Chain A
Amino acid sequence: MEIPAEDTADLERHFQSRLDADETIEPRDWMPERYRKQLVRMMSQHAHSEVVGMLPEGNWITRAPSLRRKRGLLAKVQDEAGHGLYLYGAAETLGTSREEMITQLLTGAAKYSSIFNYPTLSWADVGAIGWLVDGAAIVNQTTLAKTSYGPYARAMLRICAEENFHKRQGFEILAALATGAPGQRAMAQDAVDRWWWPTLMMFGPPDEASPNSAELTRWKVKPKSNDELRQRFVDLAVPQAKAMGLAIPDPELAWDEENSHWRFGKIDWEEFWRVVRGNGPMNRERLRARAEAHEGGRWVREAAEAYDAKRRARRQAVA
């Protein structure tokens, strides 16, 4: 049924006033079509990121250098699958299906966090990802836990609770390397050198270059800006690096006494856009791995459905 224009304006005003009153929007509530679309985009991209994110660290489970590390890493990567699952579920409340979302990922129509397009080249990378990448994700996510869309906020609460050990595990891995044999120390520093700048890029382009920002802020979907979150992350990470005895690969890093912030050097946005547009070191490999898992697993999913269909038919026949 088409809603007449003047009524739509009323509905939108009412919707905005609900948001201004910090109300939560639930799946069956009226919402502007654009809000729905933006949320599906955000939640599905977040889900894709979790699932693709299993690959760089999953790469080292079979080579983990102790039983404790092996189990801890497997548990962490498993959590990531779970997070993807919660987020796909939250997105499905808005009328899309998991299959549609996966198709969009595999055809390149949907994005995922481009941090996962970098390769993990050593065991230390696992530590660097846990400490830096999960650390950055936590800074992002803590604000998302108060997002206006109910299912997203609730999924984020669950995710945040589980995320706690991920970052600590990463820190512990790096700290052990940093205080170990010279080869281990070098491995740790090399990993930090490679993951620091891409992690800063995770927060997205500078505020003036972000087209969606203003709208998402008004809709209380994204309460803080890219630059604010990036700064918050740096302020947390620098003392942590010092505590481990590892250097941040930024010659311009300096403490701003007046504003109590760690000021950092220029981000190479050319690299960011290159990787986002598909020309990063591992873009193709990541999608190929996901496509193989998805296509390769089709016969399994079909088998389960066929079994269920046969059982139902048998029950009907008996009834």
Chain B
Amino acid sequence: MADDERSRDLAELYVRFGDDRLVLGHRLSEWCGHAPVLEEELALGNLALDLLDQATVLLERAGSLEGRGRSADELALFRDASAFRNLLLVEQPNGDFAATIVRQYLFDVFDLHLATSLETSSDRELASFAARAAREAAYHARHSREWTLRLGDGTEESHRRTQTAIDDLWMFTGELFETDPLVERLVAAQVLSDPQALHAPWHDAVTGTFREAGLKEPNDSTFRSGGRRGMHGECLDRLLSEMQSVARAFPGASW
């Protein structure tokens, strides 16, 4: 692979992973001051901070690989929705606590397997990032799994809300394991593992938890995607309008 193409591909990869964590971290930060119990203010806060810290590292690297002098801040706060490359799953609104937990759990298990697989990446920086991310993902997955159990196997109301969340969000999980020419090139270069290989362990873990909590895997096999190509739903634009509003009011300013 030519150096230029490799840099471009890596930059794009870092943007994908960075945007995932930026958008998800941002969503979690929306809970601040509104969590169902004080201890969860701390827990969701830690989760959001882990993701936002990761996003910052990833977007910084994306900017330097891209070679156009864009910083993480510029990427985060001055791109339009069509330039964002995050998964559709992470941009879904928080909904109630069950929807937030289910969205988180589906992502966390994926994240844990992804990060573990990246520890042997031929891109050294990605490998070292992944080592730390895997440890964080292990804790995140523990937290979201334990809540999925408690909400799924708690009261009738919590069970109903959790099942609804699973039914609503399942269609976004196909995208986690999709491949495309970029991914294929990076797999060939041993930067990434084949995403399809992550599907079975993810599916086993997630459905195992569902079974334990008396929750059902949806029958639905229609999946939505497009996030990796910049084709997002309506809510990302709204999210970005809010997120970018102050920065865009003073372009080029220091804060």
Contact = CB atoms under 8 A, between A and B. Distances in A.
Direct contact, A vs B (beta carbon within 8 Å): yes
B32 to A, nearest CB: 4
B195 to A, nearest CB: 27
B231 interface: no
B56 A69 contact: no
A289 interface: yes
A180 B254 contact: yes
B55 A306 contact: no
Interface stretch (B3-11, B46-54, B107-115): B46-54
A58 B242 contact: no
Interface in B219-244: 242-243
A74 B33 CA distance: 11
Given A64-B246, A180-B253, A58 B37 contact: no
Contacts of A55: 33
A297 B32 contact: no
A299 to B, nearest CB: 5
A77 interface: yes
Contacts of B154: 302-307
A298 B35 CA distance: 11
A54 B32 contact: yes
A104 to B, nearest CB: 16
A218 B149 CA distance: 52
Which interface residue of B30, B37, B38, B249 has the most chain A CB atoms within 10 A?
B38
A18 B255 CA distance: 51
B151 A303 contact: yes
A62 B243 contact: yes
A3 interface: no
A77 B56 contact: no
Give the interface SS of chain B, mostly helix, strand, loop or mixed. helix
B36 A70 contact: no
B245 interface: yes
B29 to A, nearest CB: 5
Chain A interface mostly? helix
A66 B161 contact: no
A75 B41 CA distance: 11
Contact of B29 (A69, A70, A292): A70
A63 B42 contact: no
Contact of A78 (B45, B77, B158): B45
A67 B245 CA distance: 13
A136 interface: no
Nearest to A50: B38
Interface stretch (A80-88, A157-165, A192-200): A80-88
B33 A303 contact: no
B153 interface: yes
A66 B35 contact: no
Given A299-B158, A306-B154, A67 B32 contact: no
B72 interface: yes
Given A62-B29, A303-B150, A307-B154, A297 B77 contact: no
A296 B41 contact: no
Interface string B10-39: 000000000000000010011011111111
Nearest to B157: A299
Interface in A290-316: 292-293, 296-307, 310
9 closest Cβ pairs, A-B complex? A297-B36, A303-B154, A303-B158, A78-B45, A81-B41, A300-B36, A58-B33, A65-B247, A65-B246
Given A62-B243, A65-B253, A68-B56, 12 more contacts: A60-B246, A66-B73, A68-B255, A75-B45, A77-B33, A180-B253, A184-B253, A293-B34, A297-B35, A301-B37, A302-B158, A304-B150
Interface of B: 26, 29-30, 32-39, 41-42, 45-46, 48-49, 52-53, 55-56, 59, 72-73, 76-77, 96-97, 149-151, 153-155, 157-158, 161, 242-243, 245-247, 249-250, 253-255
21 contacts: A60-B246, A61-B32, A62-B29, A62-B243, A65-B246, A66-B73, A67-B72, A69-B255, A70-B29, A78-B49, A85-B39, A181-B250, A184-B253, A293-B36, A299-B161, A300-B97, A303-B157, A305-B154, A306-B155, A307-B149, A307-B153
